[in-house]
Amino acid sequence: MSVPNEFNRTLATSDALLERILFSLDEDKAEDVVVIHLRGKTEMADHMVVCSGRSSRQVASISDKLVERLKADFGISSKVEGKDAGDWVLIDAGDVIVHVFRPEVREFYQLEKMWMPAGTSGTATPTS
């Protein structure tokens, strides 16, 4: 699968960045990808993406490739935490924050539930 033409260094808007991140995660077979839209709710970021890799090795690989692609496509030097352990990697790409978990670590922390509005059961957007 090739990178869509609209990905280039001039389109570093949060929506274009999100689109590129989702494309990269799909390419690397990340599982259970969920997008939580934060625009207008926090100054931290416009979007948060949560996904899983099947093993520590896959979590690290998904993270490495995403960081490389964002650097190549947008010139973004993402900040990365947790890659050495491979259980939970946080990638700060500016307007989009990405969390890549091993499934059991994701289940333990239940990060998506923290960011969903109170009284709702599913405002996060799973991607297909």
Alpha helices in 1-128, H assignment, sequence order = 14-27, 56-74, 103-109, 111-115
Higher pLDDT, 99 or 7: 99
| Distance set, CA 76 to CA 12, 47, 62, 124 (Å) | 9, 16, 17, 26
Contact present, 65 and 26 (Cβ < 8 Å): no
Q: For residue range 43-63, list pLDDT tens digits in order.
A: 889 999 999 999 999 999 999
Q: What is the C-alpha to C-alpha distance for residues 27 and 68, in angstroms, rounded to an integer?
A: 13
Inform me whether the pLDDT recorded for 77 exceeds 90: yes
Domains plus CATH for the chain?
14-108 (3.30.460.10)
Percent of the chain exceeding pLDDT 90 equals 67
Q: pLDDT at position 21, please?
A: 97
Nearest to 64 by CA among 103, 36, 30, 95: 30
Distance CA 30, CA 79 (A): 20
Please give the structure tokens belonging to residue 127.
């991607």
The reported pTM is 0.84
